[in-house]
Chains A and B, each alone.
Chain A
Amino acid sequence: MFDKVWLIPIFPIIGVLINGLLGRRIEEINKDIVHWVACVAVGLSFVLTCVLFFQMLGLPPDQRLYEFTWFDWISGGVLHTYVAYQIDPLSMMMCMFVTGVGFLIHVYSIGYMYHEEGRYYRFFTYLNLFMFSMINLILANNYLLLFLGWEGVGLCSYLLIGFWFSEEANAIAGKKAFITNRVGDFGFILGLLLLYTQLGAHGVWSLQFSEVFPHVHLLSPSMATAICLLLFVGCTAKSAQIPLYVWLPDAMAGPTPVSALIHAATMVTSGVYMIARSNILYSLSPFAMGVVATFGALTAIFAASIGLVQNDIKKVLAYSTVSQLGYMFLGLGVGAFAAGMFHVLTHAFFKALLFLGSGSVIHAMHHGLHKVHSHADAQDMRNMGGLKDKTPITYVTFLIATLAIAGIPGFSGFFSKDEILWQTYAHGHFVLWLIGAVAAGMTAFYMFRLVFMTFFNECRAPDGAAEHLHESPKSMTVPLMILAFLAAVGGYLGVPKALGGNNRIEHFLEPVMGLGPEKLLKKAGAAMAGGAHHLAEAAHGAAEHAAAAGHAVAGHAAAMAEHAGAHHSLFAEYLLMGISVAIALIGIFIAYTMYIRKRELPAKLAESFPFLYRLLLNKWYVDELYELVVIKPIHGFSQLLWKGVDVAIVDGTVNGVARVVGWFSGVIRYLQSGYVQSYAVSVVLGTVVLIIYYFIKALS
């Protein structure tokens, strides 16, 4: 059965082909066929994934790895890359919820996008293409195929953000996402190249996981660090971490199901997945791990602080996504890979739910405002309020998701977030823990602020639009309910030991990572043995490298073992749990006070701390900072040097690098004078230089 794994990506691509090539015709005949094709395709993938998943569960843990080689893809010299898929706990878990959540969002999109005329098929084509790429990213058994998926999801994201491209802001947001991601991809490619050549220097010319990971200990520590950091640059773009997170909030310009699927539940977690997948590599570099953890924690609190004051419902959720992704990286960075992945899972449920819920709210608001011909912003929470009674299902499901993200005990977010915070503390990162805990309080505050502003109090919609607000269609509410169920109970998959559970997720993922201290030591021992084997063959220089790597592994393992000593103090764990719950409750309480009880308070606060308020409202002025530090100086410089001619360079985009290059380009092309004899002169000059070069070469 496992060798049918190639069917999983095949279904969505068939959907792409049908809708992409014939969609226009199909849509003219019958719109319903379009979404049937798309949903069935993803549904089939999901079902097949489930079948494989349960089949895998039937195997003993140490046999849960199956590699399926579909066909020979690229073979160049010593490099052989195949289109090959890997079935193991990590990929199957990820694939399960990606196809599952993806399926639900496909269904939801039927209701949300049905009124799109003439572009309906395109939307579903993009969604299916996205599923195809994402599945490739997850199931790939080598970095190259992973990278193909990585680029593919980026492309789909770009297409979908700009889906309503007739508004310029959306097109610009799409462009911003694409360019920011390319910056990250650049780092990623460099990382891959470095990994490939460095391992190649040790005779391992491969990018296949099962070839790479058993040999990464051959890398020198500094090389491992460089590779890890470069790969992490890719993650900061794709998974929206400081400093490349800027595209994600703007990406909310896309349709809401897209925000839910791509920019919350699945694509943005691919960076987390990649690092979890490469955990053995990352374990070699404590420094890189530290960087990951620090950036994660900083992103978590930074984005949360911006979320405190946003008024656009989707912007709040966007910043909350950035913040939650920060948590995941925090988990990864402190070595709790399983906890990070656990949070990916629970986050997928509740964040998809939040987005779909907000989509349902926006849908309702749109209808209401449309009825009374109001041009008020359907996404602005200041226009909402009192929706509790108009859209009851949305309200209840939304509340469940909010409780989950706020970390209220019993809901999924609690277990995963707490596991991350506890592991952070247990590994001795007190400051990071503190940052995480404070960010948790902020999360609770802004999420409840959102709930209170949207669903409670009186309705603030203008011109009597309130009467026209009503619940969304079935195809939208049913996915909400399913996701609400998952968001509520999803956490029980991984109840920690301290609460009487057995940390099932961690055990499940153990064959892939779960590099617990003891295991790591054992592996390090094996690595040293492997290194010794190499020693026998390799020259002295290489031997030193291997020894150094061995030392680093051993040292890190020892440090981890030391921290794990604290693992058994149950008391500390309970205490921390209590503290974080208390912080969350305080956050909720403040929100309650400010937005239900004393509703004049927010305005007052904003008045008394105008600076802080403006700072947060304007997102710490990061976009402006980029504008000021990167774009403005370059722009001014080019203006100074080359006045009036720069119209031709860049069509007013916010890309600073492009401006510099464009200026440079203008100068060079000035040499292109159009006179044929000037060109002949350049030929002569080239000749003169070439001959001189060869003379010098011959003399030396």
Chain B
Amino acid sequence: MELIMLLLCGGFAIVTSLMVIFAKNTIHSALWMVASFFFMAVLYLLLRAEFIAILQIIVYAGAIMMFIIYAIMMLNIRQEEGEKAPVRKSKVVGVVALLVLFLELLVVAVNKGVLAMHGPITDQLMQKYGQIAVLSNFLFSDYLLAFELASILLTAGVVGAVVLAKQKQ
């Protein structure tokens, strides 16, 4: 059952991602992207990361993508410009290199029997207390500093976005 779900959602994720690249219309690209994120969320569920799956839909598909679509609408960019322009050689080189990289990464990633250390959380713990309880507990103890730094990061992002986009005389 899991395998079928995996293959199905994985396949859809790949197809939708490809559609993001190949769609001529920018809005379509963005919508394919939303679809792709949904399939990713399902994959996270399969991996029992429910919390992340929810976040994926709320933050990514919900907030970030809406943000992007809003920008596209505002700038009124439908069609990609310069379509007629010849494809530069460097792009061809790049795509070939990426295909090589694809093989390399497959060799890297697809192997068994890696012996890594385990912990600090087991599935049993998750089962016992619930994922959100465990995560939040750790977020505010072990990962407290990272959490605080993320707040600075987001502040910087907001300040930066405001400062760049505000209309100047």
User: Which residue from B91, B97, B104 sits with its C-beta under 8 Å from A677?
Assistant: B91
Contact indicator B100/A688 (Cβ below 8 Å):
yes
Cα A681 to Cα B97 in complex, Å, equals 8
Q: Which residues of A contact B104 (CB under 8 A)?
A: 688, 691-692, 695
Alpha-carbon distance A69/B53, docked complex (angstroms): 70
Complex alpha-carbon distance, A203 and B94, angstroms: 52
Chain B contact residue count (CB 8 A cutoff): 13
Q: How far is the CB of A673 from chain B (nearest CB, A)?
A: 7
Interface: B126 (CB within 8 A): no
A688 near B101 (CB under 8 angstroms)? yes
Q: Which residues of A contact B88 (CB under 8 A)?
A: 675, 677-678
**Complex alpha-carbon distance, A685 and B97, angstroms:** 6
Q: What 1/0 flags go to A660-686 for Cβ under 8 Å of B?
A: 000000000000010101101100110
Q: Are A685 and B91 neighbours in the complex by a CB distance under 8 Å?
A: no
Residues of B within 8 A of A691 (CB): 101, 104-105, 108
Q: How far is the CA of A678 from the CA of B95 in the complex (A)?
A: 11
Q: Evaluate whether A681 and B94 lie within 8 angstroms (CB atoms) in the complex, with A675-B88, A691-B108 already known.
A: yes
Contacts of B101 in A (CB 8 A): 684, 687-688, 691
Q: Verify A677–B90 contact, CB threshold 8 A.
A: yes
Residue on A with the closest CB to B107? Answer: A695
Over the window 96-112 of chain B, the binary record of Cβ atoms lying under 8 Å from chain A Cβ atoms (1 yes, 0 no) is 01101100110110000
Please, which residues of chain B bring their CB within 8 A of the CB of A692? 104
Known contacts A675-B88, A691-B108; is A681 also within 8 Å of B100 by CB? no
The answer to whether residues A684 and B98 also contact, given A691-B104, A691-B108 and a CB cut-off of 8 A, is: yes
User: Among B91, B105, B107, B108, which residue has its beta carbon within 8 angstroms of that of A681?
Assistant: B91
- Measured CB to CB, the closest approach of chain A to B82, in angstroms, equals 12
A687 partner residues in chain B, CB cutoff 8 A: 101
A681 to B88, CA, bound (A): 11
In the complex, chain A residues whose CB is within 8 Å of the CB of B75: none
B115 at the interface (CB under 8 A from A): no
Name the distance in Å between A254's Cβ and chain B's nearest Cβ: 52
CB distance from A468 to the nearest CB of B (A): 70
List which B67-104 residues lie within 8 A (CB) of chain A.
88, 90-91, 93-94, 97-98, 100-101, 104
* Cα separation A685 to B105 with both chains bound (whole Å): 14
Assess whether B108 is in contact with A685, with CB atoms less than 8 Å apart: no
Distance in Å from the Cβ of A695 to the closest Cβ of chain B? 8
Task: Give min CB distance, A646 to chain B, whole Å.
Answer: 25
Q: Are B90 and A678 in contact (CB under 8 A)?
A: yes
**Nearest-neighbor residue (CB-CB) of B105 within chain A:** A691
Return A697 CB to nearest CB of chain B, in Å.
14
Q: Is the CB of B94 within 8 A of A680?
A: yes
With a cutoff of 8 Å between Cβ atoms, the chain B residues found around residue A685 in the complex are 93-94, 97
Q: How far is the CB of A588 from chain B (nearest CB, A)?
A: 75
In the complex, what's the smallest C-beta–C-beta distance from A552 to chain B, in angstroms?
55
Which residue of chain B has its CB nearest to the CB of A678?
A: B90
B97 vs chain A, min Cβ distance (A): 5
Look across to chain A and name the residue whose beta carbon is closest to the beta carbon of B92. Answer: A681
**Cα(A672)–Cα(B154), bound, Å:** 33
B13 → A minimal CB distance (Å) = 22
With a cutoff of 8 Å between Cβ atoms, the chain B residues found around residue A678 in the complex are: 88, 90, 94
Q: Given A691-B104, A692-B104: A673 and B98 within 8 A (CB)?
A: no
Taking CB atoms, residues of chain A closer than 8 Å to B107 are 695
Chain B residues whose C-beta falls within 8 Å of the C-beta of A673 in the assembled complex: 90
What chain A residues lie within 8 Å of B108 (beta carbons)? 691
Nearest CB in chain A: distance from B21 CB, A? 14
Q: Which residue of A lies closest to B108 (CB)?
A: A691
Q: Using a CB-CB cutoff of 8 Å, which residues 27-80 of chain B contact chain A?
A: none
B residues less than 8 Å from A695 (CB atoms): 104, 107
Question: A675 to chain B: which residues have CB within 8 Å?
Answer: 88, 90
| A688→B97 contact, CB < 8 A | yes
What chain A residues lie within 8 Å of B100 (beta carbons)?
A: 688
> Smallest CB–CB gap between A679 and chain B, Å?
9
Max chain B C-beta neighbours (<10 A), residue from A675, A677, A680, A684: A684
**Distance to closest chain B CB from A688 (angstroms):** 5
A residues in contact with B94, CB < 8 Å: 677-678, 680-681, 684-685
Q: Is there contact, CB below 8 Å, between A684 and B91?
A: no
CB-CB under 8 A from A680, the residues of chain B are: 94
C-alpha spacing A681/B100, complex, angstroms: 13
A376 to B38, CA, bound (A): 91
Give Cα A681–Cα B94 distance, bound, in whole angstroms: 5
Chain B nearest CB: distance from A463 CB in Å? 69
> Residues of A contacting B90 with CB < 8 Å?
673, 675, 677-678, 681
A-B contact pairs, 29 of them (CB 8 A): A673-B90, A675-B88, A675-B90, A677-B88, A677-B90, A677-B94, A678-B88, A678-B90, A678-B94, A680-B94, A681-B90, A681-B91, A681-B93, A681-B94, A681-B97, A684-B97, A684-B98, A684-B101, A685-B93, A685-B94, A685-B97, A688-B97, A688-B101, A691-B101, A691-B104, A691-B105, A691-B108, A695-B104, A695-B107
- Interface of B with A (CB < 8 Å)? 88, 90-91, 93-94, 97-98, 100-101, 104-105, 107-108
Known: A677-B91, A681-B97. 16 other contacts (CB 8 A): A675-B88, A675-B90, A677-B88, A677-B90, A677-B94, A678-B90, A681-B91, A681-B94, A684-B94, A684-B101, A685-B94, A688-B100, A688-B101, A691-B105, A691-B108, A695-B107
Q: Could you list which residues of chain A lie within 8 angstroms of chain B, going by C-beta atoms?
A: 673, 675, 677-678, 680-681, 684-685, 687-688, 691-692, 695
List of 7 A-B pairs having minimum Cβ-Cβ separation, nearest first: A681-B94, A678-B90, A691-B104, A684-B97, A681-B90, A685-B97, A688-B100
